[in-house]
Amino acid sequence: MSTTETASARYATLEDWSTSDLVAGILEGQYFAIGAVQSAGAAIAKAIDMSAERLSAGGRLIYIGAGTSGRISTQDAAELPPTFNWPSSRAISLMAGGEGAFLRAKEGAEDDEVAGVADLDGVSVGPNDVVIGVAASGRTPYVIAGLKHARKIGALTIGIYNNRGGRVGEACELPILIETGPEILAGSTRMKAGTAQKAALNCISTGVMIRLGFVYRGKMVEMQATNAKLRERGALMVADLTGADIEVATKAFAEAGQIIKVAVVMLSLDVSKDDAVAALARANGNLRRALVG
């Protein structure tokens, strides 16, 4: 039995605990999860650097998972387009049981090895792609088969799992073991294991975007201003990054088509929108490089 499914003696009388003790116990597990991710820091850093290299060559991030792990992976993929303007076609999440399983559990889907291979073939996985398989138990057949298949094709394969000895680690090129141990509810990997998976994916995807130049001075300069709140945030970013007052920044942001990077170049270099767009194009979209010429 995997450690995430093992019942801990510490929680044997859980139902008799006071509500405040329950809260403390659950939060204790969340703190432990982050500590476990910290212990995997070296492997996560390696995953960032290796992934950035593949993605800079035009590859895609492809997540593959089942159940809780698949849903956490899907959340990470879904956040990349609005946060970093990363193309949705380059952030793909494959879920055991298909799209319907994102919202409703599809029992037995995680055991389908054939589907793991077929789903990756369905998106034409290739050697520039980064395939991240996530499985708390480390033994999910759908994920293992997918990782093996992607690795044969030449894609970079990363496995995130929570149980030592899990075959996910053998199936991928870069294993990331995050040992979170028994859950407060035995086998409920949406708890500690899920928190650890989310934190690890946050590190990888955010780190990759920083390495690729999608962040400038700690700001989400690729952010899509798709609503009033984000338009206000965008104008404030332009003001902060250029030193312009908010009225000037708001006007430039509007003239730039609400594209933060364009507005920043316009104000920083005192150029037109067209010249700013051209400067960014010469810099491959990297704001830092565009500003230094």
DSSP state of 8: P
Selecting among 79, 179, 232, 255, the annotated active-site residue is 79
Q: Find the angle CA(99)-CA(153)-CA(49) to the nearest 5 degrees.
A: 85
SS3 of residue 220 by DSSP: coil
**Whether the Cβ atoms of residue 236 and residue 246 lie closer than 8 Å to each other:** yes
- Write the CB contacts of 226 (distance below 8 Å, at least 6 apart in sequence): 82
Dist. CA 39–CA 233, nearest whole Å: 35
Q: Crossing angle for the helix pair 260-269 and 273-282, nearest 10 degrees?
A: 110
Output phi, psi for 195, to 5 deg: -60, -45
Active site residue 53: no
Residue with tokens 């003790």: 21
Active site residue 5: no
**Whether the Cβ atoms of residue 267 and residue 249 lie closer than 8 Å to each other:** yes
Residues taking part in catalysis: 79, 110
